[in-house]
Amino acid sequence: MNEREQRELDELLMNSSKGENIQQITELIEAGANINAVTTVQKETPLHIAVRYVHKEVAELLLNKGANVNAVERRKWTPLHTAVKSGKVEVAELLLDRGANVNAVDNIDMTPLHFAVKYVQEELVKLLLEKGASVNAVDKKGRTPLSIVATGCYQGYCDKPMLVRTIIVYAVLHSGITMKPECIVNNSELSEFWDLCKNEVSGRLSNSTISLYQFLRENDKNKLAGYLFDQNYDVKRYLEEKQYEKDFPIYANIITGQLHKAMKRKDLLYRSDIVMNHSVDLKDFPQEVKSKITNCLTNEELRNVIRAPFSIPSRNLDNPSAEQLQAAAQAHN
């Protein structure tokens, strides 16, 4: 294929990315179109274009075929910047799940969180913060996401009250800020809310030694699941009975999200134990060794273990037998 033919093929792919013809896009890629080709002026890739036109299935196809999730166009916007500008949460989620840099900066050092705040995309603000977006990121005009949203909050009036409170909640939890930013100090209502957040974060779960900060900041999935095992009975009951909703009203929704992660991990560990304890290949392994193996696996890898053909022939893992459940229970004791 000569240079002219390649360019024509690439242009067809970029034009097709504006639509939703999956078969046509697949055929163009298989014919040799460059998955990361760029437009002449804007320097957008097919992924940028698919995201801009909010075609999630096309974006997913391009990613599956090797599109660069962090490619930058003329303004150094990544596809995630474009998704946030478009206001589509599901597309942003896809990009983040595929490795998009949540703190990527454009040509004026604005991150996707700056964009979400600027365009008042509250659900995207929450998503980005949950994925680790920095509230301290400073653009070339000296603005942070927090200062942008707080600029309209003076003299007792705030034009984006829910948005600024959402950022404060995550700023207190994740940013490591020890002193209130000036944009918060200057507003008594926001300053008071900041103090309430600080007080909740420093509280403890039930009568345990585990702080709310420790639980919400825990990234180790095994430790997170461990809070729900019987040896942590008080914390387990406190979380499962949702007693935290009364004690931590500001952070209750975030606690619930973290609890769901813990429950999912615990369930996968539990079911993989059933599989490994009944596997012909692994039944003679010491339980300690099997536990170390499962603890090193990701959630998706645990799902693969559970689905593995060698596991438990002709048994339904979604509805384990009493024998399987008993074996798993013994393994956890």
153-161: average pLDDT: 51
Domain finish residue from 85, 101, 117:
101
Q: CA-to-CA distance for 135 and 180, rounded, in angstroms?
A: 13
pLDDT at 94: 97
pLDDT digits (tens, 9 = 90+) for 18-47: 998 999 999 999 999 999 999 989 999 999
Same structural domain for residues 173 and 189? yes
Q: Is the dihedral of CA 228, 231, 237, 243 positive or negative?
A: negative
180-199: average pLDDT: 85
Q: CA-to-CA distance for 161 and 235, rounded, in angstroms?
A: 33
Same structural domain for residues 185 and 119? yes
- CATH number of the domain bearing residue 22: 1.25.40.20
Stretch among 18-32, 147-161, 174-188 having the lowest mean pLDDT: 147-161
Is-contact 47 69, C-beta < 8 A?
A: yes
| Residue 1 resides in a domain | yes
| Residue 207 resides in a domain | no
| Residue 224 resides in a domain | yes
pLDDT at 165: 87
Where would I find the beta strands (DSSP E) of 14-155? 153-154
263-272: average pLDDT: 91
Among residues of the chain, what percentage have pLDDT more than 90? 44
156-173: average pLDDT: 76
Picking from 133, 138, 130, 189, the residue whose alpha carbon sits closest to that of residue 164 is: 189
Q: Name residue 153's beta-bridge partners.
A: 158
Same structural domain for residues 266 and 184? no
Same structural domain for residues 95 and 113? no
Same structural domain for residues 153 and 179? yes
On average, the pLDDT of the chain sits at: 85
Does the pLDDT value for residue 283 go beyond 80?
no
Distances (CA, A) of 216 to 50, 81, 221, 224, 256: 35, 27, 12, 9, 10
pLDDT band (50, 70, 90) for residue 313: very low
Same structural domain for residues 238 and 314? yes
Same structural domain for residues 236 and 143? no
134-157: average pLDDT: 75
Does the pLDDT value for residue 187 go beyond 60?
yes
User: If you ran DSSP here, which 8-state letter would residue 230 be given?
Assistant: G
pLDDT at 36: 96
Q: Is the dihedral of CA 166, 170, 175, 177 positive or negative?
A: positive
Same structural domain for residues 280 and 316? yes
pLDDT at 224: 87
Beta carbons within 10 angstroms of residue 216's beta carbon: 16
Count structural domains, the chain.
Answer: 3
Picking from 108, 110, 156, the residue whose alpha carbon sits closest to that of residue 133 is: 110
Does the pLDDT value for residue 202 go beyond 70?
yes
pLDDT digits (tens, 9 = 90+) for 89-107: 999 999 999 999 999 999 9
3-state secondary structure of 253: helix
| Residue 130 resides in a domain | yes
pLDDT at 206: 80
Is-contact 86 126, C-beta < 8 A?
A: no
Token pair for 218: 């825990």
Counting beta carbons within 10 angstroms of the beta carbon of residue 309, is it exposed (0 to 12), middle (13 to 18) or buried (19 or more)?
exposed
Q: What is the domain range of residue 231?
A: 212-332
Does the pLDDT value for residue 232 go beyond 60?
yes
288-309: average pLDDT: 85
Domain finish residue from 53, 74, 101:
101
| Residue 292 resides in a domain | yes
| Residue 206 resides in a domain | no
262-286: average pLDDT: 83
**Of 120 and 109, the one with more pLDDT:** 109
pLDDT at 177: 58
Same structural domain for residues 225 and 316? yes
131-138: average pLDDT: 88
**Of 63 and 175, the one with more pLDDT:** 63
**Beta pairing, strands 153-154 & 157-158:** antiparallel
**Of 107 and 88, the one with more pLDDT:** 107
pLDDT band (50, 70, 90) for residue 329: very low
Does the pLDDT value for residue 175 go beyond 90?
no
Phi and psi at 154, nearest 5°, equal: -135, 160
Domain finish residue from 180, 201, 222:
201
Place of tokens 């977006």: 133
